[in-house]
Structure 1
Amino acid sequence: MDRAIEQKLISAIHKGVVDAAQWQNFVDGLRDALGVIHANLTFRRTDAPRSELTSYASGGPMEHMSEFYLGSYYRNDPLPYYRLFPGTLYTLQDLFDPADHSVWLQLRQLLAPFEGTDMLIMRISEPDGANAWLTVIGAEGPFECQDRELLQTLGVHLQIALTAYAKLAEAEARLAAYSNAMDRLNVGIVTLAADGRIINADPLVNRLLQDGQIISRDPQGRLVIANGNAARSLTLALRDFAQEPRGRPRAVRLSEAQQADMMLVPVADRPVTGRFTPVLRAYVHTDHLPAADSIDGLMEMFRLTRSEAKLALALSDGLTLAEAAERLGVTLQTVRTYSKRVFQKTGTRRQAELVRALLTSTLSLA
């Protein structure tokens, strides 16, 4: 096998972790390199049924094959996918007794659409349990030794790539969960370099930047704060945190009218990647208006009636009983009756305790 072709395939394996096409370029290149009819790299979760898989395939009547396999064949697929020893290359002859005619009939059904005569399969696993299977189907008799050697070499790199891919997928899922929680709390995050240049910003901060009333971005890409005192505090924090990455976080009020504030936190663990060094991460908070489904959440958590839940939300906004009565369109006496029930059901005695109970519960994420 040409060394340049091998290196190109190895490169495609590792690029697959981050490329938009993922491993499609790899399987296309592998099919061409081996001169086989079909090459396939399939991922499947351990607890997923065989009908649920992610497959990168090259060559052969794939649309027809997908209908055939997912339509019914997967229920009787004889290949012992999870019993294959990771990193070991198997032929069909290694896996099945030549005298077992019923199994070979099923296998011929699998190979028939490709007009194939032989198949090689390898299981790739990573430490946390992710699995993939590399399969090639040929039509010119047994595979040559150099083909097997190439696949064994590629299997080592696929294991490394699969480990990296699993870690990346786990980190992305965790980040998505954190981002969703921060968004529900109306907290955005922006990371700055020493000169105030915005390195990255989440969707909430980007919306505020586009609005431009509280914060904006100058032509050089630096964060600009409309409030003069807050802007000066940011400048000082950037200077101090650049010199002392473990300095004390600082709170800054951005806007009284919009009840917006910002927590400035130094970036202690600075990555070696990226064009600019992050020195400050700002958590931007704006006034959190309760979502409509917070009423349902209050009803479920504290067994409030809908009217009582509406009152609880009004009081959590800082309204007096009289103001809450006006908002809800009921009498002051009715509100007083509701409030007694709300305090009793939430285990609080005063409005301040009620607000604290609501803000510290998971309903603040609703």
Structure 2
Amino acid sequence: MTQALLDGAYEKPLWASFLSLLARETGADFVVLLCQPPGWKQDDCLQLVSGDMRVEDSNELYRRYFVDRNPTASELMQEGRAYSLEELIALDRGEHEAFYADLVTTHRVTDLRQMRVREAGGVDARLTIVSLSRSFDVQTDRLLCALAPVLRSVLRNYIVLERERFTASLAEEAIRRLQFGWIALDAGGGIVDSDPVGEMLLRESGVVGRTPRGRLTIADRAAERTLLATIRTMASQLEASPKAVSLSSDPWFDMLLVPAPHRLLGPIGKPVIVAYVHGDSWGTADRCEQLMDLFRLTRSEARLALEICRGRSIAEAACQLDLQVETVRGYSKRIFAKTGARGQTDLVRILMGSVLALTPDGRIGAPRPASR
């Protein structure tokens, strides 16, 4: 049972094996594990049930009798001790008499045991076993008390794990929105592994893909030949320098090739190169719309700002946009004024540091005045 409690944080549903074992060992009709952070109401908390009882039924009972405050008995309970139904009623001192009467008459509860522990951060866990036909004995009390220190440690580890998961999920979401990922490659351009973003780009970008035999393929065949030649060259060098490769300008897609860190990736295969990929799922027209929303640029100014962010000089941008260099210089001055940038480098910092980089799924701003 201790092992089931330790392993339960990795189960789906959580602690299902432990709760089932505890019900079988004690003869309980159902078992409830409630994890309650400070200030949280019961119906907002993690509730796990084994047996013929629905969480919503428990919450309905809670809302009916404890809408204003938690049960007094829970506040007075000593950690690590198993309390009987009679003891909980005595601790309550009649404050929630109607609740306990309902528990016995309507819900036919014959006996229960409840044990509380609190981890260092203040999160309470209450483990409750309920019987509809029999009374629990002293052996049951001893079992719950023996589980208390293990439950406290498990609760602490689970909270740390959940915080890490939450932090990681936010970072993963930001990375996903920025469209950064990685693809591990062997010397022949075969795909060894990839992260979720890299896999999504392989599947959906239309710029990079995977052949039926698992080799990296590029939509632009000339770019593919150059890339594969670069990979072979880097694979033959002991200390190859990273190489940056641009694969598409609309939508924007670039790649950084670096020697594989074997200490990290070795167990998953034999990659020699890690390709860090960055793909923008929006085309130029979409990004221009976002720049217009965010900085109140005209369409011509937005197109120029996007070209500057993609590393082009004023002269290169003028050629790309089929405009005179002096016209582009005039646009750039208005862009700097509207964004507060002091030059091209500062403009890239401002634009790429804005929420523009995190909004591939929707429009940004309010309606803007007509622009040309």
Shift of 1:310: 3.4
Name the structure 2 match of 1:201. Answer: 194
Q: Which range moves more in the overlay, 107-116 or 204-213? A: 204-213
Name the structure 2 match of 1:6. Answer: none
* Structure 2 counterpart SS, 1:207: helix
1:235 aligned partner, one-letter code: A
The CA distance in 2 between the partners of 1:248 and 1:86, in whole Å, is 60
- Cα distance change of structure 1 residues 235 and 36 upon mapping to structure 2, 3 Å threshold: same
CA contact (8 A) 2:191 2:216 kept: yes
Q: Which range moves more in the overlay, 310-319 or 151-160? A: 310-319
Shift of 1:147: 0.7
CA contact (8 A) 1:295 1:306 kept: no
CA contact (8 A) 2:202 2:209 kept: yes
The CA distance in 2 between the partners of 1:175 and 1:278, in whole Å, is 25
2:171 matches 1:178 = yes
Aligned match of 1:148 in 141, 146, 155? Answer: 141
2:229 aligned partner, one-letter code: N
1:34 aligned partner, one-letter code: T
Deviations 1:203-239 (A, max 9, x none): 22113444696463785x78789522332255347xx
1:35 aligned partner, one-letter code: G
* Structure 2 counterpart SS, 1:16: helix
Q: Which range moves more in the overlay, 15-24 or 57-66? A: 57-66
Name the structure 1 match of 2:117. Answer: 124
Name the structure 1 match of 2:231. Answer: 231
After superposition, residues 334-349 of structure 1 pair within 5 angstroms as 339-348=332-341
- Cα distance change of structure 1 residues 343 and 64 upon mapping to structure 2, 3 Å threshold: closer
Deviations 1:4-44 (A, max 9, x none): xxxxx223223321122222332222222111232111223
Shift of 1:268: 8.1
The CA distance in 2 between the partners of 1:107 and 1:32, in whole Å, is 25
The CA distance in 2 between the partners of 1:249 and 1:108, in whole Å, is 76
Deviations 1:244-287 (A, max 9, x none): xxx88723437367642124265487599x77699975422235
Q: Which range moves more in the overlay, 39-48 or 283-292? A: 283-292
Shift of 1:120: 1.6
Aligned match of 2:21 in 26, 29, 51? Answer: 29
2:210 matches 1:216 = yes
Aligned match of 1:134 in 120, 127, 136? Answer: 127
The CA distance in 1 between the partners of 2:138 and 2:93, in whole Å, is 27
Q: Give the % identical residues.
A: 24
The CA distance in 1 between the partners of 2:100 and 2:150, in whole Å, is 29
Per the normalisation by structure 1, the TM-score is: 0.71
Aligned match of 1:260 in 254, 259, 265? Answer: 254
After superposition, residues 1-366 of structure 1 pair within 5 angstroms as 9-62=1-54, 65-66=57-58, 68-69=60-61, 71-75=63-67, 78-81=71-74, 84-97=77-90, 100-139=93-132, 142-190=135-183, 200-210=193-203, 214=208, 216=210, 226=224, 227-233=227-233, 235-236=235-236, 240=238, 250-253=242-245, 255=247, 259-264=253-258, 267=261, 270=264, 282-286=275-279, 289=282, 292=286, 299=293, 302=295, 304=296, 310-311=302-303, 312-313=305-306, 316-317=309-310, 318=312, 320=317, 339-348=332-341, 350-351=343-344, 353-366=346-359
Aligned residues: 342
- Cα distance change of structure 1 residues 25 and 232 upon mapping to structure 2, 3 Å threshold: same
The CA distance in 2 between the partners of 1:28 and 1:121, in whole Å, is 16
1:106 aligned partner, one-letter code: F
The CA distance in 2 between the partners of 1:150 and 1:193, in whole Å, is 55
The CA distance in 2 between the partners of 1:363 and 1:229, in whole Å, is 34
* Structure 2 counterpart SS, 1:17: helix
The CA distance in 1 between the partners of 2:145 and 2:23, in whole Å, is 15
Name the structure 1 match of 2:362. Answer: none
* Structure 2 counterpart SS, 1:41: strand
- Cα distance change of structure 1 residues 78 and 129 upon mapping to structure 2, 3 Å threshold: closer
Per the normalisation by structure 2, the TM-score is: 0.70
- Cα distance change of structure 1 residues 96 and 42 upon mapping to structure 2, 3 Å threshold: same
2:232 aligned partner, one-letter code: R
Unpaired segments ≥5 residues, structure 1: 1-8, 241-246
The CA distance in 1 between the partners of 2:64 and 2:180, in whole Å, is 49
The CA distance in 2 between the partners of 1:49 and 1:27, in whole Å, is 22
Superposed CA RMSD in Å reads 4.4
Shift of 1:144: 1.5
Deviations 1:64-120 (A, max 9, x none): 733632552341652544554443333344445379345333222234444113322
CA contact (8 A) 1:270 1:277 kept: no
Name the structure 2 match of 1:244. Answer: none
* Structure 2 counterpart SS, 1:72: helix
